[in-house]
Structure 1
């Protein structure tokens, strides 16, 4: 049977053809985006944090009593925490905690005059004199903070003037030029900081990680409180410290009235929580994809079966005119392959639209990957061909005698 004749048959059955095309397009749209999200999630899980995840703890608290002197509270907390035998160092966390899902985004610029200057997402850490030790940073160039460069106080305090940045952020900001002595500008206020050193890459900031700039981070010598009611700490403990330390710390912090202890955890737990939401979304998309594939398969089987039933007499005539079973089967497979091809083309554009919508509205990770997209497209196409094969094979069993009997 010629391709021209097959196209005529497709046009003759417009309703069935449109339904098959629609099912294939919707299936590709859903399955491809599920694959993109799942693939991105897997890639994220495999990226090394380069963190000592079982030695760095996050402590998140919230002061609800406005009468509490936050500055004195921080001093008492740090004195008590640092006195614990398992604790090596502890710092007040003026900005983010280690890969903790709480903060809004922070950005640095290399130009404070250009309104359109590129911003670089970063994990921002305001710390006291034990901050570098608590984050377990290794200085790779330049120097550490001097004692007189640390700033302590409330929200009205003048910010510090120097900063350390990660090697990866330094490369993004200055490419091959030395970052030492350069000035960067923080957030929309364009607060200036001079870079005095860089440190080896670690996955520190939650927002930076979410933005897929895994090792962008900046440390400033600022222990400034009062910007909100949170008073948080980053603690470094001895290797192989038992999780009993979490209960010890929580009990210690609860001795101070007027506040809630929201979370005490190893950064390993924070990292797991960071990806839990993304993984859950990927599993939901996977379940929807499996359902879409099942519905598409059953739908195509039903539609092709109905089409075969409607053309029962035509197939009998073809057999009477000498068409072999193989020719009848081949014509039906080609017919449905062409419909699937049209559906796949439409589904390609729909999948791009859905991907953009997901990235913008839900901020999921999962940009299109060419190889993944081709594999999904091939899989959907093979599935539609297999679904069409089952009822098409029944059409080959129609004997010429059946046509004569029906007439």
Structure 2
């Protein structure tokens, strides 16, 4: 049947056609964003941290006794951890490896101009042993001098120097050298001079969340302003039995007024980083599945109703020599046209929902053209399968039935 005639038939049933188009558009909007979120989550699961994940431990403790001398406690803890068999070195860190940076949403600017381009990065404060514990390889410049380290319960001034990852250096300065350059951290534009560049590691949720996984920087600052939470990074020898986790916890357990919250490998910390988001992605997938089922059932109901209204027309077609397959093909063509219109409407809605989620819900998502194509094919397949049953029933109408009803 000619497309022109099919369009005329669709216009005769504007209400049903609009409902099918709307269902398809809403389904595309939901399924597309589910695919975007799930894809972004999977991509981050697969990104290598470039850390020796099974040789680096995160240790998190909480202090409840306000009378404890935190500086002395940190020194005792480091000594106790390093006394555990298999431990190579331990370091106090202001924040947890992988999970937290020095603060939320850290940004780095090249200069103080308002329109300056900036980069989101993970920002860490480490002590003298921190670089070795993390296994950072300095490829340009130098390490921090002992005199540059700042330690204490509060910060009266900044160290003023920073080491940055190779990837962050390239993002800011291209092929030029970052050494000796002054960069400005946070919206307050706190100046830091770059003294070293190291091979990138996955450090900091803020950078990872912004799809800039290896953009990070470390400063020689060890602060315990939040005296309730003390974090340590520990490097163990390769192949050490997993009981080292319990041994490290036991080494810290006996200090009164303090509890050990967590001792875990970096691999576990990285997984925990994405656990909540993966749950959200799975929830969205469940919503998407429900949307597809509702759409399929809605199309079945609407097309079945349309078929019942046009039963006589189908009988006339059969009387004029149309085969069953021709009747089914006509209905499938009608559905394909409606699905195409729904896709054209649905994709802009999907992009609008994407930006809404990114700006207001702050989920991690990414728009990928192959995913949009896959969603389009999937939606068309679901709708075609949904229209098959009523189309087959319409094809069964015989000319004799029409004659009787006449």
Normalised by the size of structure 1, how large is the TM-score?
A: 0.94
Task: Give the conservation status (yes or no) of the 8 Å contact 2:307–2:390.
Answer: yes
Name the residue aligned to 1:15.
15
Supply the distance in 2 between the matched residues of 1:118 and 1:71 (Cα, whole angstroms): 39
- Give, in whole Å, the separation in 1 of the partners of 2:189 and 2:360: 28
2:151–2:221 contact (8 Å) kept in structure 1? yes
Cα distance in structure 2, aligned partners of 1:358 and 1:161: 37
2:59 counterpart residue number: 59
CA RMSD of aligned residues (A): 1.8
- Report what 2:38 is aligned to: 38
Distance 1:156 1:45 in 2: 36
Query: 2 CA distance for matches of 1:214 and 1:390?
Result: 49
My pick for the range that moved more, 150-159 or 128-137, is 150-159
Unaligned runs of 5+ in 1: none
1:181: Cα distance to partner? 0.8
> After superposition, what is the alpha-carbon deviation per residue over 1:308-364, rounded to whole angstroms, capped at 9, x for unaligned?
111111211222233333332232122111111111111111111221122223322
Determine the structure 1 residue equivalent to 2:70.
70
CA separation of 1:372 and 1:156: change in aligned 2, threshold 3 A: closer
Q: Is the 8 A contact 2:107 2:119 kept in 1?
A: yes
Cα deviation per residue 1:231-281 (whole Å; 9 max; x = unaligned)?
211111111222222222222223222233222211110011112222222
Which deviates more, 341-350 or 355-364?
Answer: 355-364
Would the aligned equivalents of 1:157 and 1:224 in 2 still touch at CA under 8 Å? Answer: no
Native 8 Å contact 2:84 2:247 kept in 1 = no
Higher mean alpha-carbon deviation, 320-329 vs 115-124, is at 320-329
Structure 2 matches for 1:251-266, cutoff 5 A? 251-266=250-265
The answer for the alignment partner of 1:28 in structure 2 is: 28
The separation in 1 between residues aligned to 2:336 and 2:14, in whole angstroms, is 15
Aligned length: 405
1:8-407 alignment to 2 at 5 Å?
A: 8-94=8-94, 96-100=95-99, 104-111=104-111, 113-227=112-226, 229-407=228-406
The whole-number CA distance in structure 2 between the counterparts of 1:291 and 1:101 is: 36
Moved more, 387-396 or 44-53: 387-396
**1:375 offset after TM fit, Å?**
1.6
| Cα distance between partner residues in 2 of 1:145 and 1:324 | 83
Q: Distance in 2 between matches of 1:401 and 1:381?
A: 34
- Separation of aligned partners in 1, 2:336 and 2:105: 48
- Do 1:41 and 1:279's aligned partners in 2 also have CA atoms closer than 8 Å? yes
Whole-Å separation in 1 of the counterparts to 2:141 and 2:39 = 38
Q: How far apart, in 2, do the equivalents of 1:340 and 1:156 lie?
A: 61
Deviation track 1:44-73 (CA, whole Å, cap 9, x = no partner) reads 222111110011111122223322222222
CA shift digits 1:176-225 (9 cap, x unpaired): 11011111122233222211111111112122111111101111111222
Structure 2 gap ranges (5+):
none
Q: What is the TM-score normalised by the length of structure 2?
A: 0.94
Q: CA deviation at 1:149?
A: 1.8
Deviates more, 1:45-54 or 1:288-297: 288-297
Q: What residue in structure 2 maps to residue 5 of structure 1?
A: 5
